[in-house]
Amino acid sequence: MRLPSQLRSLVGGAGEVPVEAGTVREAIVAVDEAYPGIAFRVLDDHGALRRFVNIFVADEDVRFLQGLDTVLEAGQTVSLVPAVAGG
């Protein structure tokens, strides 16, 4: 899983964390078990993806796939990307 700079302090500064999971949600949970605090930053109190966090699987936004239930294939890259707003 690729992590933005804002979350790297939670994983010892690493830009990527290897994880084995069947879905995006399982990947988040697996990383959070190893590095507590990740899920809190990515998921809201109801377990839904936070509004200003984007997740991409193989360069596809999961919101246009199956969301957190998007199935992962071996070797696919999951990227957490904070939304950028401005005007």
| Domain range for 55 | 5-82
pTM higher than the cut 0.85 = yes
Burial class of residue 27, CB neighbours in 10 A (0-12, 13-18, 19+): buried
Cβ(43)–Cβ(50) below 8 Å = yes
Q: How many domains does the chain have?
A: 1
> What number of other Cβ atoms are within 10 A of residue 44's Cβ?
11
Residue 87 in domain: no
Q: What is the CATH number of the domain that holds 27?
A: 3.10.20.30
What six digits make up the tokens of 38? 């990740």
Q: Say yes or no to pLDDT of 68 above 70.
A: yes
When the pLDDT of each residue in the chain is averaged and rounded to a whole number, the result is: 92
Q: Are 27 and 72 in contact (CB under 8 A)?
A: yes
pLDDT at 87 over 90: no
Which token pair is 54?
A: 């984007």
